[in-house]
A and B are shown apart, each in its own frame.
Chain A
Amino acid sequence: MIKTDNNNNIYMMNCEAVSKRCSSSLKNGKILSVLFVGVGGQGIILATAVLAHAAINAGFDVKVSEVHGMAQRGGSVEGSVRLGKKVFSPTISSADLIVALERLEAARYIERLSPGGVLLVNDYEIYPSSGFAQKQCHAPDAGKLLSEATGNFLFINAVEIARKLGRIKVSNIVLTGVLSRFLPFEDDCWMEAVKKNVPKKAININVKAFISGREFFNK
């Protein structure tokens, strides 16, 4: 499956191969680590909850670590989900998969990606306001920083997809949908997880968002 990003760079992203690799790792008793990063308020905790419950539905043990308090204060946020037959540590060292809801945070956390790991990046940037006062108004090229570190990353225009659905706020669920293609869980595991965790009034739009993400490669 070939995908191009905004700069028309071509990345080979064979999600089926990654999914198969994850599946056999899990069968061998290995623990999979998925790291979510972004800016406070982007919905990282919800994304970790959806993945965690999908993994539980698929029969795995799960541990989730999260940082509370940054939702309103615009700070850097990370949350992780570890899954496997039996998970011990709630925190990760290196991640098999990183889902970044923001470009600069993707660049910040890239060194946590394990060799061969996959990075999914929301093609969206929030410049830190504390940087304005330093007159650092030229944002570094996150894409360049990422490509210097790994070839295994992909920009996803999740904000655009969410905007078309009518709600930018569901970008995090769009990305979770994309992520789902790299993991060996059945559809119904994910659907139940999405419905269980999103606000009751917003179930429909979030299901649509998840499906949009899941169908991202069908273009």
Chain B
Amino acid sequence: MKNKGNLRLLTGNEAIARAAYESGVTVASAYPGTPSTEILENIAKYKEIYCQWSVNEKVALEFASGASIAGARVLVAMKHVGLNVAADPFITLSYTGVNGGLVIVSADDPYMHSSQNEQDNRFYAKFAKVPMLEPSDSQEALDMVKDAFEISERFDTPVLLRTTTRISHSRSLVSTGSRHGSFTGKYVKDARKYVMIPAYGRSRHRIMLQRWEKLEKLSEEVKYHTVYKPAAKEITSDIGIITSGVSYQYAREVFKNIPVLKLNMTNPVARKAITDFASGRRLLIIIEELEPFLEEQVKSLNLKAAIAGKEFFPAYGELGISALEMVYGQLFGTSLFTKSGISIDYPGKYYAEVKDEKQPGEPVVKDITGSMINGLPARPPVLCAGCPHSPVFYVLKKLKAVVMGDIGCYTLSVLPPLDALDSCLCMGAGISQALGMEKADSRLKSRVVSVIGDSTFFHSGITATIDNAYNNGTGLIIVLDNGTTAMTGHQAHPGVGKTLMGDDAPELKPESFAAAAGIKHIKVVDPNKLSELEAVIKEEMERKELSFVVCRRKCVLIEKKKNKVIVTIDQNLCKECGACIKFGCPAIELKNGVYSINGMLCTGCGVCADICRFKAIIIKNIK
């Protein structure tokens, strides 16, 4: 056994957490969001670092900026759409600068493995004129975070570390170091730096622009761009690849014989290094996922070389070996070299037709709506057996409600057979959208309902609720309170009574905020009590005044009390009407025409027994 004893197999997120530890960070904050969630979860393992889940990413960044002003080194993490929420402090932080180093991690999600969009957050760095580093594996993630703190303090700026799912969630070998104590700065009053009234803001902006010039010089330093020269027999000096992040790894595997300029700092980009690399080359291939962020900047240099970028690589989804192999074929046919060398006038000559929606390398069967494809049934994620959200959507569907939804496990209710969601836009949107629908068309008043989870409610539902109350909404707001932030892995939030670090905390209740907003009709129900749930929802939908209903029952996965029952379907009573199957519980099975309950999956919630109008579903207590 040849063990690389000093190397550890870490995900990018674990490496980032380790880097925070090694950098002397003492404060960290985040709101859970795939693919960033594990960063704070891992930082929380180091007792030297105070960590918290903030209510949302805006608060997390503002909180972090306060800690930075007080002299601590701080790390904030979020998913890509989280930076949308934090954009307000982010843009102006570029003006105020920092005291203790402030590093913001944006974990983007090309292909939207678990997100509502695949926006390219590199533009945020450009927008704010904040330096940005892009790691291409876990070791770089660790090294770059440590360097980011140095840059942050040396140039008085927040620093953005941008990862993607394949960096955050892939594992590679990392050499770790140690922590040389905590970084401790001191608060120094400086109103001209931290108070952004117009007069001070204007002067900070000019300082920020001067800083930008210094950062441009920094980006030219050797460590911020690496040139890889292949060792192969046939090198082409005519062609070069420019890339960053995980795309660098794909380029190294597929475009084996072509020199690669890997940009480690991607804002600013090192214009001189790019120009030097391009010198003498006739073709530059820009390999990046999503937007032509690097491509446009390279094009602005007006180099002699032709540039192959988004005409070849899609602006949607992830890249990978298959995607690059396809482009390799398009650009060079089967052989990179002809007898007389490469003759490429312009890459457009080799432009292939745009393929269909299928991602190269993706399995053929990937339809989440549940229909059979190629003889195989789809297998989308579903709400768990016993999930307290299922009865709520079952009732809403039955009452023909228009459901403006939100982000969380309950978004899965959109899938068949429940098919009970009309909209899901972003965090907190459902409640505001419902008011919008009501004001646009009063005929919708009795039908529109908004649905939001407990964590999402604290994140951005309170402001939307106030808007409904203040602007005389008449709808029904439903909070699905399962006592946790479930979808991202059961993190705590202000309603749970515990903090990230395990301390006791006050348990805030959504209904308190509804009462504070002056909403008169507030009810709390147990969603597993189906007939009571239906009666309440029906009554509040019909009511011509704003209502707020909290459906409260713990997420079945964290509910410690188990129902000691066995649920079965009596075949003599079963009329095969299919109503139970339409509930969507994975424990209810239909095989060879027989309806049955899978005992291994069933959690004994008993809701299906209330759905069956033939009383064919039997619940038996077991001692």
List chain A positions with a Cβ less than 8 A from chain B: 31, 39-40, 49, 52-53, 56-59, 61-70, 72-76, 87-93, 104-105, 107-109, 111-112, 127-140, 145, 186, 188-189, 192
Contact = CB atoms under 8 A, between A and B. Distances in A.
Contacts, number: 186
A137 B325 contact: no
A135 B585 CA distance: 14
A107 B365 CA distance: 10
A90 B170 contact: yes
A109 B587 CA distance: 25
B47 interface: no
Given A72-B557, A88-B252, A56 B381 contact: no
B376 A140 contact: yes
Contact of B382 (A63, A75, A135): A75
A192 B3 CA distance: 10
B321 A91 contact: yes
A193 B379 CA distance: 31
B7 interface: yes
A132 B170 contact: no
A133 B416 contact: yes
A57 B4 CA distance: 7
Given A64-B170, A93-B321, A75 B384 contact: no
B2 A137 contact: no
Given A109-B363, A133-B416, A93 B322 contact: yes
B394 to A, nearest CB: 12
A181 B272 CA distance: 52
Interface in B250-276: 250, 252-253
A207 B200 CA distance: 66
A90 B1 contact: no
A89 B169 contact: no
B371 A64 contact: no
Please give me the 6 A-B residue pairs with the lowest Cβ-Cβ distance, nearest first. Answer: A129-B586, A75-B381, A133-B417, A73-B381, A90-B170, A59-B2
Interface in B573-609: 578, 581-582, 584-593
A65 B381 contact: no
A127 B383 CA distance: 15
Contacts of A91: 166, 170, 318, 320-321, 361
A104 B377 contact: yes
B397 interface: no
A65 B170 contact: yes
B2 A62 contact: no
Contact of B412 (A58, A73, A133, A135): A73
Interface of B: 1-4, 7, 9, 34-35, 113-114, 137, 166, 169-173, 246, 249-250, 252-253, 318, 320-322, 325, 360-361, 363-365, 370-372, 375-384, 409, 412, 415-417, 487-489, 557, 578, 581-582, 584-593
Contacts of B35: 68
B253 A88 contact: yes
B581 A75 contact: no
B377 A136 contact: yes
A75 B372 contact: no
B589 A132 contact: yes
Contacts of A40: 381
A127 B601 CA distance: 13
B584 A133 contact: yes
B586 A58 contact: no
Contacts of A49: 9
Nearest to A185: B1
Given A59-B2, A87-B172, A131-B370, 10 more contacts: A59-B4, A61-B173, A62-B172, A68-B169, A75-B382, A89-B250, A89-B252, A89-B320, A90-B172, A134-B372
Given A62-B9, A73-B382, A93-B361, A132 B590 contact: yes
Nearest to B172: A63
Nearest to A112: B363
A127 B114 contact: no
Contact of A130 (B3, B322, B380): B380
Contacts of B114: 69
A91 B325 CA distance: 14
A67 B113 contact: yes
Nearest to B416: A133
Contacts of A111: 363-364
Contacts of A107: 375-376
A75 B416 CA distance: 14
B171 A52 contact: yes
A74 B578 CA distance: 22
Contacts of B34: 68-69
Contacts of A61: 173
27 contacts: A52-B171, A56-B3, A56-B9, A58-B2, A59-B2, A63-B170, A66-B171, A68-B34, A68-B35, A68-B169, A72-B557, A75-B379, A75-B380, A89-B246, A89-B320, A90-B166, A91-B361, A93-B325, A104-B377, A112-B363, A127-B589, A132-B581, A132-B590, A134-B370, A134-B377, A134-B416, A145-B375
A57 B581 contact: no
Contacts of B360: 93
A134 B169 CA distance: 34
Contacts of A90: 137, 166, 170-172, 246, 249
A200 B7 CA distance: 22
Contacts of A57: 1-3
Contacts of B3: 56-57, 192
A64 B585 contact: no
B171 A64 contact: yes
A128 B372 contact: no
A131 B378 contact: yes
Contacts of B592: 137-138
Contacts of A76: 379-380
